[in-house]
Amino acid sequence: MSSDQDHLKETDTEARFEFKKEERSSFQAEKGLTEETIRVISEDKGEPEWMLKRRLRALEQFQEMPMPTDWPGQPDLSEVDVNEIIPYIRPDVETRESVDDWTDLPDDIKDTFDKLGIPEAEKNALSGVGAQYESEVVYQNMQEQWEEKGVIFCNMDEAVQEHGDLVREHFMTKCVPPSDNKFAALHGAIWSGGSFVYVPEDTTVEMPVQAYFRMNSEGMGQFEHTLIIAEENSEVHYIEGCSAPKYSAFNLHSGGVEVFVGEGAHVQYSTVQNWSKNTYNLNTKRALVEADGRMEWISGSMGSKATMLYPSTVLKGPGASDNHITIAFAGEGQNIDTGAKVYHNAPETKSTIESKSISKDGGRTNYRGLVHIADGAADSSTSVECDALMFDNESTSDTMPYMEINESTVDVAHEATVGKIGDEDVFYLQSRGLDDDDAKQMIVSGFIEPITEELPIEYAVELNRLVELEMEGSLG
């Protein structure tokens, strides 16, 4: 392990994220999406009949639904052609199950995750780690103390086999049905890999659990599914990280995340995404929150060519609450269309959304949000705050919030500001001996601090490093 640490120190962040590996796979599906492909994937995974049926139904829905095209200012998806995507690649590992000993992984896969610092983080700060390579989770480990309490953390395919009843009840039924949008349907048809987290009643998982997703092959799609069930009065913090190197062909990432927050439970979901700049990142993430439960979304959207991602929360029970903290950084050629959705469906529910965006070198950021307060959601309150920082005149920043208010005893507030990086601030820092780049870097770090301070330290450091790289324009 010490060599890993040394290696981490020596390698700069760019090398950490941009290296490529020879493609290795034991099974690779044909390009495109047909019923045949889905049957093959399902059979390869040894899935029960009900899951195959769900996949085929989702495929039908996918084929019926049009591409999203009519949103004002949305990213151009014309390049996204499902027929050009390899929907499934099983990496060439010895067994069907993911291994729980790091040293059992093939060297090059191990090396990949070593470079990303996964074992390091696990040793120091995490309750458990899952690592997905291409379409399958290759490594999964949970510290014993949590397992003893009945906490389940395993890969999603394993969960279908081992925890069938739980999965059958929750998987793309109540939270994210495939009919939600075209890419949710696509996901329902060809999902593979991902994490399953189950926390029993009155159990607090004090250290975060983490999953890391890595796309390595050119022209592939990654469709991992994450299902988190936190029973009454439980607590868990889930962290996911993603990256993929850059290839000339486009990659598609269309994940699905479903979170069930039981009565009085508390779930925090943190993501730092750093997809390569030819990846289309089109995810559906949603949480259902029961009475007095609390959901927290923390996301950093850094890479990708285009992102359309609006983590959403349905506050179902009285006293349920939700916090969103998001940051988007769009550099040259990038279009980050992100925001948050909250449905207040019960009385005395609360939500706050804090969104920050930075655009630079022709990058385009967009906050697209929806706050819905249903009739009957009396005494609810919500506040939305968006701040955008623009570096130059080639960049664009749009704010498009939607507020639907059906209840009178509510407190709804939305605020947004846009500004350029302050010349005076830069001047002040320069006069204290910093050069122009360092001064700007420092201002941006200050701007995103409300986000980074919510993240575990490793992630805060990673986010800051990524921002640094974006600022230098040296990534991708």
Partner 1 sequence: MSAQVPADLSEATVHEIANSRDEPDWLRETRLKALKAMDDLEMPDVIQTPGRRWTNLGQLDFDELADPLNQADDTERVTDEGVEVLPFTEAVEKHPKLMQAKFGSVIDPETNYLTALSVALFTTGTFIYVPEGVDAEDVTIRTEMNSRSLFSHTLVVTEDSSSVTILERISSGDAAVDGERYFSNLVEVDAAENSYVQYGSLQTLDEETYNVTLKRGDADVYSTINWIEGNLGSRLTRSDVETELNGDSSETKIVGAFFGHDDQHFDVNARVWHQAEHTTADLVTRGVLDDTARSVYEGVQDVGREAWDTSSYQRENTLMLSDDSEADASPKLIINNHDTEASHSATVGQVDREDLFYLTSRTIPERDARNMLVEGFFVPVLEEIAVEEFREDLERRISARLRE
Question: What residue ranges bind partner 1 (CB under 8 A)?
Answer: 73, 370, 372, 375, 378, 388, 390-393, 395-421
User: Which token pair is 216?
Assistant: 């390595």
Of the pair 158, 258, the CB lying nearest partner 1 is at: 258
CB of 288 to partner 1, least distance (A): 17
Which CB sits closer to partner 1, 55 or 364?
Answer: 364
Give least dist CB 440 to partner 1, A: 13
Nearest CB to partner 1, comparing residues 21 and 414: 414
Identity of the residue, 100 or 375, whose beta carbon is nearer to partner 1 in the bound complex? 375
112 vs 399 by CB, closer to partner 1: 399
**Beta carbon of residue 407, minimum distance to partner 1 (angstroms, whole number):** 6
CB of 403 to partner 1, least distance (A): 4
Closest separation in Å from C-beta 385 to partner 1: 9
Which is nearer to partner 1, 159 or 377 (by Cβ)?
377
Q: How near is the Cβ of 447 to partner 1 at its closest, in Å?
A: 14
